Amino acid sequence: MAQLMKIVADEILMVRGGDALEDRVGIVEHWAWAIDGATGLVSERLFPGASDASWFVDALDLALRAEAAGATSTPANLLERVLMRVRAAVPDVDRLCSLSAERMPSAACAIVRMMETRVSYVIVGDCSLMFRRNGVPVRLTDPRPMATEAPILDEVKRLQSRGASLAERREVIMPLLVARRRSMNQPGGYCSLDLTGAGINTSLSGVVELPDDGKCVLCTDGFTRLVDVFGACSEARMVMDALDGPLWNVAAAVRKLEKDDPDRLRATRIKLFDDLAACRVSAFR
**pLDDT tens digit string along 156-207?**
999 999 999 888 998 999 999 999 999 999 999 999 999 999 999 999 999 9
- Has residue 255 got a pLDDT over 70? yes
The pLDDT assigned to 285 comes to 64
What is the mean predicted confidence (pLDDT) over 64-90?
A: 96
Q: How many CB atoms lie within 10 A of CB 84?
A: 12
- pTM, entire model: 0.95
Closest CA relative to residue 83, chosen from 59, 111, 49, 103: 59
What is the mean predicted confidence (pLDDT) over 97-124?
A: 95
Residues ≥6 apart with Cβ < 8 Å to 25: 12, 13, 14, 32, 33, 34, 35, 218, 277, 278, 279
CA–CA gap between residue 179 and residue 274 (Å, rounded): 21
Determine the CATH number of domain 6-284.
3.60.40.10
The pLDDT assigned to 2 comes to 59
β-pairing verdict for 215-219 and 118-124: unpaired
Positions of E strands within 2-105: 6-15, 23-28, 31-38
- Has residue 3 got a pLDDT over 80? no
**Helices 247-259, 235-244: inter-axial angle, 10-degree rounding:** 130
The pLDDT assigned to 180 comes to 96
Q: How many CB atoms lie within 10 A of CB 171?
A: 12
> For 1, how many CA atoms within 13 A lie in the half-sphere containing its CB?
6
Which sign, positive or negative, has the C-alpha torsion 158, 261, 164, 17? positive
- Following DSSP, what letter does each residue of 1-16 receive, concatenated? -PPB-EEEEEEEEEE-
What is the mean predicted confidence (pLDDT) over 231-235?
A: 97
Q: C-alpha angle with apex 50: 49 to 56, nearest 5 degrees?
A: 60
Q: How confident is the model at residue 96 (pLDDT cuts 50, 70, 90)?
A: very high
What is the mean predicted confidence (pLDDT) over 215-229?
A: 97
Computed over every residue of the chain, the mean pLDDT equals 94
CA–CA gap between residue 126 and residue 146 (Å, rounded): 8
The pLDDT assigned to 77 comes to 97
